[in-house]
Structure 1
Amino acid sequence: MADDVSSDLPTDILVDILVRLPTSARRRFRLVCKRWRDVIDERTAERQVRTKILVFNSKPQSSRVLVFGDEDRRRMHEWTYGSAFSWGRVDMVGTSNGLICLHDSSYGDRSTITIANPITGEALALPPVPRVRNSTGSFGSYGFGYHPTTGQYKVVHVPSCVSLRPDTVHVLTLGCSVWRKAVPSMADVTYYDCSGGVVCADGSAYWFSLSGNRVVALDLKDERLTSFPGPPGMRSIGVASEASFKLTSVNARLGVVFPSYKPATTRVVVWILDGGGEEQPRWSRRYTLIDRTTGSLIVLTPHLTHGKDILTMSRDMDGLYRHKVGDCTDVDDGRTAQLVLSEGIELIISEEEGNIRTFAYVETQEPLPIVRESRSQKGKKKKLGQSQSISFHRIK
């Protein structure tokens, strides 16, 4: 119905209306219909101007963040995050509207989650996830997302232990101090596989089922679990950890990448979720990334696209590259676009070793929510570098 109502409104006029609205309102209006979502994602200033590339390099003891502008290779920020544990490592869970979520972990069950605004230096250490009966002690995986209708940020913990039932997925709303159990709405998914990542897009968190042929979705509004079939390629491959296919974000939409790295050729097939929410989920094979030069480029995730750019890293980790591949979502008539990575290539970092992941980032002065304290747990705001949380060093 919404598509019918807005179909007579010229796109340029719709864009002129939307850019006059506050950012928070535009996020909510992405849910009106597919056309509005596409226009906001591709034509508003928030997506085209403010979004920057965040490169997270995770190393033992100290991890590094580099932020680049969306139009050039200029390095805008550089931060380091030190682990609070001996032999610990800080990893990036995700980013959302300028806030970042960090996971500091070490051997055993030592693990902390911190939400931070690196521009203001403010941080919030979250209470630990409740220990679950029959757990093997593995950390599982975390996701960090935002729901545009409620305006709430949420952290999701997905267990990686196959002895756990699906109702042990836990959710914490930023501003609260208690983890809640997500409610499963169907019984066909029993165990989870987090090796393909946990990605938040369009108000939901997504990950794979252990069988490898379904995608599990957690609605960040009502915190209910559902599942739906993955792209056709998943059903013929199997478990994500054995096949290396991963969830990703493609211009704020959920995607699945199927990489094939051979000695002389890199080939990455990308599927995008076109349905979801109230619509029936459906997948389209949208494009294929090809490197026919040396086959030595690795496509970086979990954020695959950064405007009209894609980032890759050389296999020997001696360089990080930006590729101008254009609009990767404009093929909607059943055809599959082939994008050649060797064209429009630009070196932005050299000699960068470590576990590299890429995210979208926007600067914000937004304060962290005030925590509503419970009787059993208390979340406390603090500056990074204080207390026993992750240490923060601003280089630039």
Structure 2
Amino acid sequence: MSDVPLPPDVLAQILSWLPVTSLLRFRSVSKPLRALIDSDYVTNLHLNHSVQSNSNTNLLFGGDRSLYYFNLDSDTNAVNKIHNPLYFAIFETVILGSCNGVVCLCTIEPDNEIAFWNPIVRKFKKTRLPPAKCLEGLGRGLCIKGFGYDHVHDDHKVVRLVQYCSLFKELVHSKIEVFSLKTEVWKEIGDFPYRLCSRKYLNVFTNGALHWLVSRQPEVKVGFLIAAFDLATEEFTLVPQPDFANEKVQVNLGVLGGCLSVVCNYPKCNVDVWVMRSYGVKDSWSKLISTADVKIIKDLDFLRPIVYSKSGREVLLEKNFERLYWYHLENKTSERFKVAGIPRLFVTEMFTGSLVQVKIGSASRNVEKKEENEKKNNRKKDDFLSKGFRLVL
């Protein structure tokens, strides 16, 4: 056997095929291997391979303050309870979303403690956002947060949408703010000219933008629009929606395989799932699922597509925040997907296992330096006291 080492490019390609847990173990082999695994090149190569091959797919189940983790490639059918970085916060934890393997957790207003967390690497950064400003006589209004990644500026961002409505459901004031993790600064973008239609799973992130189901009218029944907020340009656009019957339909947004999706629920009749194959192109909408399966439509209040199976022949669906189903695209049947250990009511978040970690801004670096200096000073004091005094019994 040859003792000639592999070229770094070849070794990086091999490493990109491995699970994150294996890569974390291999970091202990040698300093050169650790440096290669920690490099941006291997991190990005591994993430791109995972996305293209639909591998390293994980599910995060949020229920109250507890978080549970499940790997779809695992041989077991039970979740593992995982430490919640915000477990000891006063308010409950909300999963804002995930991208590139980073999950954003947040406590509700007015606490606003936020954790940017990689569940596989088990490292996180925390910060606290200022509460939404109140308008005199209108209280705090409706405050919705979303999470996404600005690929142009390599920056994770939190978007906060605040709306104030009158007693007659008329939109009085609506504004949108953006928090940059890189600069740790809030920036008010301006007025948001639409009214939110639904309060269930209000925003979804895909194609570099957050999306909301909105309307220009007080009542949802008059129709809806899909509003998009680009995190790179920080501008609003409208995304064309699919053509479907508007009568007695309940609509919500989702993301499936990186594509924007629309779920149309015709109560006690059937449910359709549309997928936009080419982002922004109206003609690219296709009806992926149309089913009247009793297991799906019975008592259906909310349905969301989560992820494709590794073969691409099934779609995992979350129903009413309490059940999961695999829907078979070929024979158009569904079967219950039971995972041991998940809470009775839960929110499912799909994330790709990756080595990506958030890049914190200058403010947090200054805090970290201050804490390090305080620790050094405390150690010096302890050393002085231990050398200068002796306890006599």
TM-score class, shorter-chain normalisation, is: 0.5 to 0.7
Match of 2:339 among 336, 344, 348: 348
Distance 1:92 1:363 in 2: 17
Is the Cα–Cα contact under 8 Å of residues 183 and 223 in structure 1 kept in the other structure? no
> How has the CA–CA distance of structure 1 residues 202 and 313 changed in structure 2, closer, same or farther, with 3 Å as cutoff?
closer
> How has the CA–CA distance of structure 1 residues 364 and 294 changed in structure 2, closer, same or farther, with 3 Å as cutoff?
closer
RMSD between aligned alpha carbons?
4.0
Structure 1 length normalisation: TM-score?
0.65
Match of 1:48 among 49, 53, 56: 53
Match of 1:177 among 177, 180, 184: 184
Is the Cα–Cα contact under 8 Å of residues 94 and 359 in structure 1 kept in the other structure? yes
1:303 Cα deviation (Å)?
Answer: 3.1
Is the Cα–Cα contact under 8 Å of residues 202 and 252 in structure 1 kept in the other structure? yes
Correspondence 1:288 to 2:290: yes
Distance 2:225 2:369 in 1: 38
1:291 Cα deviation (Å)?
Answer: 2.2
1:230 Cα deviation (Å)?
Answer: 2.9
- Segments of structure 2 that go 5 or more residues without pairing to the other structure are 1-12, 18-40, 166-170, 371-393
Please tell me the residue identity of whatever aligns with 2:82: W
- Give 3-state SS (helix, strand or coil) of 2:232's partner: coil
1:104 Cα deviation (Å)?
Answer: 1.1
Match of 2:353 among 363, 366, 388: 363
> How has the CA–CA distance of structure 1 residues 200 and 129 changed in structure 2, closer, same or farther, with 3 Å as cutoff?
farther
> Which residues in structure 2 correspond to 1:243-392 (within 5 Å)?
244-260=250-266, 262=268, 267-276=270-279, 283-292=285-294, 295-296=297-298, 301=304, 303=306, 305=308, 307=310, 308=312, 309-312=314-317, 317=322, 320-323=323-326, 325=328, 339-342=332-335, 345-349=336-340, 352-354=343-345, 356-373=346-363
Correspondence 1:191 to 2:181: no
1:255 Cα deviation (Å)?
Answer: 0.6
Please tell me the residue identity of whatever aligns with 1:340: T
Q: Percent identity?
A: 18
- Give 3-state SS (helix, strand or coil) of 2:263's partner: strand
Match of 1:200 among 201, 205, 210: 205
Distance 2:296 2:236 in 1: 43
1:138 Cα deviation (Å)?
Answer: 3.8
Please tell me the residue identity of whatever aligns with 2:66: S
Please tell me the residue identity of whatever aligns with 1:155: V
Is the Cα–Cα contact under 8 Å of residues 98 and 148 in structure 2 kept in the other structure? yes
Residues 187-215 of structure 1, C-alpha deviations (whole Å, 9 max, x = no match): 8x433335142000011110011344111
The structure where helix makes up a greater share of residues is 2
**1:8 aligned residue:** none
**2:106 aligned residue:** 103
Is the Cα–Cα contact under 8 Å of residues 293 and 334 in structure 2 kept in the other structure? yes
Is the Cα–Cα contact under 8 Å of residues 371 and 379 in structure 1 kept in the other structure? no
Match of 2:226 among 190, 215, 223: 215
> How has the CA–CA distance of structure 1 residues 368 and 147 changed in structure 2, closer, same or farther, with 3 Å as cutoff?
closer
Is the Cα–Cα contact under 8 Å of residues 55 and 358 in structure 1 kept in the other structure? yes
Is the Cα–Cα contact under 8 Å of residues 272 and 290 in structure 2 kept in the other structure? yes
Is the Cα–Cα contact under 8 Å of residues 67 and 76 in structure 1 kept in the other structure? yes
1:94 Cα deviation (Å)?
Answer: 0.4
Distance 1:99 1:173 in 2: 15
Is the Cα–Cα contact under 8 Å of residues 151 and 232 in structure 2 kept in the other structure? no
- Which of these two proteins has the greater Rg computed from alpha carbons? 2
Residues 266-317 of structure 1, C-alpha deviations (whole Å, 9 max, x = no match): x32111224445x568633332244245855867536354543433467795
> How has the CA–CA distance of structure 1 residues 381 and 236 changed in structure 2, closer, same or farther, with 3 Å as cutoff?
farther
**1:334 aligned residue:** none
Correspondence 1:116 to 2:117: yes
The aligned length equals 315
Is the Cα–Cα contact under 8 Å of residues 251 and 263 in structure 2 kept in the other structure? yes
> How has the CA–CA distance of structure 1 residues 381 and 222 changed in structure 2, closer, same or farther, with 3 Å as cutoff?
farther
1:57 Cα deviation (Å)?
Answer: 2.7
Structure 2 length normalisation: TM-score?
0.66
> How has the CA–CA distance of structure 1 residues 294 and 183 changed in structure 2, closer, same or farther, with 3 Å as cutoff?
closer
1:253 Cα deviation (Å)?
Answer: 0.7
**1:388 aligned residue:** none
1:125 Cα deviation (Å)?
Answer: 1.6
Does 110-119 or 245-254 show the bigger shift?
110-119
- Segments of structure 1 that go 5 or more residues without pairing to the other structure are 1-15, 28-39, 238-242, 327-336, 383-396
